[in-house]
Structure 1
Amino acid sequence: MSDQSVQLLGAYLKDCRGRLDPASFGFSNARRRTPGLRREEVAQRANISATWYTWLEQGRGGAPSTEVLNRIAQSLLMTEPEREHLFMLAFGHPPEVIYRAPEGVTPRLQRLLDTLEFSPAIIKTATWDVLAWNRAAAVVFTDYSLLPVEERNILRLMFCRQGVRERQEDWESMARFVVAAFRADAIRAGAASEVSKLAEELCVLSADFARFWRDNDVRVHGEGSKRLHHPMMGLIALEYSGFAVDGRPDLGMVIYNPATAEDTDKIRVLLEGND
């Protein structure tokens, strides 16, 4: 670490420590000259030497190990972006990604989806489980609320549900792309073990999935087009864009815009019929 990086790291740790309320950790607020936790309290929570932590804040403790830095981040209740910044200061690169299966989305994210009246939109995990969707997605793709939670997975639907397969204008091309983009998303998010488990199961359930999975193809789920045959409205053409959810590397948002005014009208009819 350069001298400047050491100083910046120490200053950042001091600032993070000063923002915490000692009482919330069971420490007394009495006889404190400055706000926040004391250095020895951070060291106690991180199970490290108080002297060494003091040196670290003062810019003379040397570079900490990854394990110790993670313990310090946990002791300071750092958010994921704060932890990433901590690692960038200490090592010049973000921390190794540790995948944690998300349990849901915030009400704010759901409201964002709901504002997209005629554009189907979903939020998916790194293993392509659908966590949230809007009404347009429910009427154009499938009503995920009617599916068991464990079946709200794009790959399971694509390879294990005949109705979903029949809707795709070019199922083989779309399915091959989905497998390649899924592989890239999941590995990037550090979900290798989750990928292996799901892939093994799908290889048993679908010979097509097994064939595509063996190709080891990797693609980016960025922008593209999708054409599907809806059982009520016929062909619907969509243009999609994928977005990262800031601060949530485990989540991705995909928005499908109607390609033409005629496609918008078809989605409007579906929504009106579902009121």
Structure 2
Amino acid sequence: MSEHRDRQTGRFLPSPDAASLRHEIFAEDKPSSAWLAGVLAADGSVEASLRAVSLSQSGEAGRELIQEVRRLTNHSARVYVGHPPYGQTTHSVRLVSARMVADLHHRYLITHRKTLTYSWPTIPQVLQAPFLRGYVEGDGCVGIYPTPQANPMLHLSFVGTPWFVRDAMKAIPANGRYRIIERCEALAEARFNGRHAWAAANWVFADPDLYRGAKWQMFSQYRQTLQQEPPRWYRLQRQREVAMACLAEGKSVQEAARTAGVDWRLVYAWRARAGQAGSTA
């Protein structure tokens, strides 16, 4: 049991397992805390009593994710294992902590019955990528799919309420497609493909110290593919980075073009676009 009722006062008292939890975790400005809040925003469930939050995941990847949640929160209570007649084995944990529930509400807007109402939280910019990384781990998709030319293409997407998805996309430094999912109530999708997915994924998965789950592993696999068979946009991106680094060192456009292996007129265009972006920032 995670809690019990005192016979004299009628109040719920935490068990020793619950007492060992890191109750203050969601009050901390740490990437790992924001990541976990993102997981719970996507897949967690706040109980109506407002005393506990639970999380359930399926399959081997789900079991590993649950173990990471236990490690971060110092959870030592029971892990509930389910064996549905169809589908993969499920693993679930229940975090009994009114403090956690309150902090999730005030800092990350995670509440009971959040499915149709959830909004993008106002959190420090440094925590936005870790938070969305957790959200994507819980309720997103990262995959590699072939283009019509049979080239591997990265895909990153996630769903949520229309207002959550719109504001989340504003935080991501990449161009994605937004669409309403008509068959569901209050549901939209953010979708990034190709070089836009690469830019989004590099931002989402930037922190090397956060949990490397199934979605990160897919991104890592694509990163290895790019190094082996780089598409034109990736080669051009690398050349642009070389050229802009040369210009930052004070070299001429012609020198930067020779070093990057591109036409000097392209370097002029890159420099002009960078100047326009800087003037509007």
With the length of structure 1 as denominator, give the TM-score of the two structures.
0.34
Length-normalised TM-score, structure 2: 0.34
